Chains A and B, each alone.
Chain A
């Protein structure tokens, strides 16, 4: 099955700076890579996703890059704001089963 590794486990950045979270996956058949954001006391929520036929996707301050050869993908958040503080999960998948989540990154935005 798929194995997803996520780094770092905790990331603290100054408000306004950029944050980068990196993930690797093992299954070369995986072709769908969503990112979920989980705020305290809530379930995860999809914030952006990318498919294997593109290398980069942007949505305002959030971007995701994918390197299929190296089997890694990253989440980039620019101009970070206090409301970006949350746990972020990368996900690998390609089949009809439940997605394989990384262990999560606790992002802390320092005022």
Chain B
């Protein structure tokens, strides 16, 4: 079946512009996660959704970052007034449920470059 898809695959934007990244999870998966991966670094947890609600937003780096999920499916991560330090690969994952033991299935990521 279809896996997690993300769009766009690559995004180049000028400093100060807003960007929107999209994630389509696997159908039927109730939990959705956003991570950021900087060059040579591990995955930094940003936010997760259980259904449409986000119980934990503590990983969002600043108030320029926001995310929403509608209909328990598609999620968008929005970065306002982008900065060069926002350049990274943004990964989305989904799982059948939230919590220990549920495998997270990752999308291929969106590579964001802020010039």
The total of chain B residues at the interface (CB under 8 A) is 27
| Interface contact B109-A43, CB-CB below 8 Å | yes
Q: List chain A residues, Cβ under 8 A from B41.
A: 103-104
Contact with B along A88-110 (1 / 0, CB 8 A): 01000111111111111000000
| Interface contact B99-A96, CB-CB below 8 Å | yes
Is B8's beta carbon under 8 Å from chain A?
no
Contact with A along B49-61 (1 / 0, CB 8 A): 0100001100100
Is B98's beta carbon under 8 Å from chain A?
yes
Counting chain A residues whose Cβ lies within 8 A of the other chain, the interface size class is 20 to 34
Binding site for A on B (CB under 8 A): 4, 33, 35, 40-43, 45-48, 50, 55-56, 59, 91, 93, 98-101, 103-104, 106-109
Q: Can you spell out 6 A-B residue pairs with CB atoms less than 8 angstroms apart?
A: A44-B106, A98-B33, A98-B56, A98-B59, A101-B35, A101-B45
